[in-house]
Amino acid sequence: MRLFKYMPEARIDDILVLNKIRFTQPICFNDPFECKLTINSIAPDDYIVNLYKEEFKKIDIMNRLNKKELSNSLEKIINGKNYIQRFRTKFEEILNYKWGILSLTTSKGNLLMWAHYANEHKGFTVEFNEESDFFHKREDKESFFNHLHKVDYSNYRDLTSLIEKQYANVFLTKSTEWEYEDEYRVFKQLNSANEVKNENIYLFNFPKDMINAIYCGCNMDKVHKEKILNILSNDNELSHVKLYYGEISTKYYKINFNEINKVT
């Protein structure tokens, strides 16, 4: 499997000279549903009732109170709309403050993605080596961070109680409208970033051997093409990287990529 990242031409130095890549907070994404918690309750009613029955067996006051009435009152408070909304808000605040996401795709020639993420075909696409350790650094089998996840697509949001929630669904499910992106994700904790720009742009170092190829957009300026060519030609650690220039097909609605010989 090959993995690609679409970028504007302004990121040339970050990627090819500094070898830093951004992990983006969910709040900065263009999908308003991104990583939004969908819950209709904190816990099912019977769970709350049974929980408090068990807990209040331990204290004498329950001899003087109606257990069912008390459980029902607590259920109304815990599962009330205001409480749930406050919980959602706090959840999203913490997520946007602590987590960053790197979005990748399996396609280098998607016209919409070139338009949306690579500055209207003036940017470039990086092909990464999926086998790089950068994508496989999970600390243990339970860890959610530092390794690849496949995004799933659905017409329905995962609406359930908080304690029954499958949290991967929150971060790894998007509308079928986005299915054309065939997205893979890596999550990192933002406090481990190697550099922070403008207070909210979190950059992480990656090894140069993680890059397999660079694909220049069909509308990229000659100056930027030459800049990339010069960088790849003069950095021994990037000598393995292939370079392609995109051009519009005369027969199909697609971009053809032609390999360019680097200066040696």
* DSSP H helix total and E strand total for the chain: 7, 15
Q: How confident is the model at residue 205 (pLDDT cuts 50, 70, 90)?
A: very high
Q: Which of 56-70, 225-239, 243-257 has the lowest mean pLDDT?
A: 56-70
CB-CB contact of 263 with 51 (8 Å): no
Beta pairing partners, 76: none
- What would the pLDDT profile of 135-194 be if each residue is shown by its tens digit? 998 878 778 999 999 999 999 988 887 777 777 888 999 999 999 999 999 999 999 999
Per-residue pLDDT, 105? 98
Higher pLDDT, 228 or 74: 228
* Inter-residue contact 162 to 90 (CB < 8 Å): no
Partners of 213 in the β-ladder: 127, 242
Q: What is the pLDDT of residue 10?
A: 96
**Which of 43-47, 79-83, 136-140, 223-227 has maximum average pLDDT?**
223-227
What is the reported pTM? Answer: 0.85
Other Cβ atoms within 10 Å of 147 Cβ, number: 15
Contacting residues for 242 by C-beta, under 8 A, at least 6 apart: 212, 213, 214, 259
Say yes or no to pLDDT of 25 above 80.
Answer: yes
Q: What is the pLDDT of residue 41?
A: 74
For residue 68, what pLDDT is reported? 59
In the numeric block, which tokens belong to residue 210? Answer: 């993680």
| Count of alpha carbons within 13 angstroms of residue 264, beta-carbon side | 4
- Non-local CB neighbours of 81 within 8 Å, separated by 6+ positions: none
How confident is the model at residue 13, as a pLDDT? 97
Distance between CA 27 and CA 188 in Å, rounded? 15
Segment 72-111, tens digit of pLDDT: 656 565 556 677 787 888 888 888 889 999 999 999 999 9
∠ CA 264-217-146, nearest 5°, is: 85
pLDDT at 252: 97
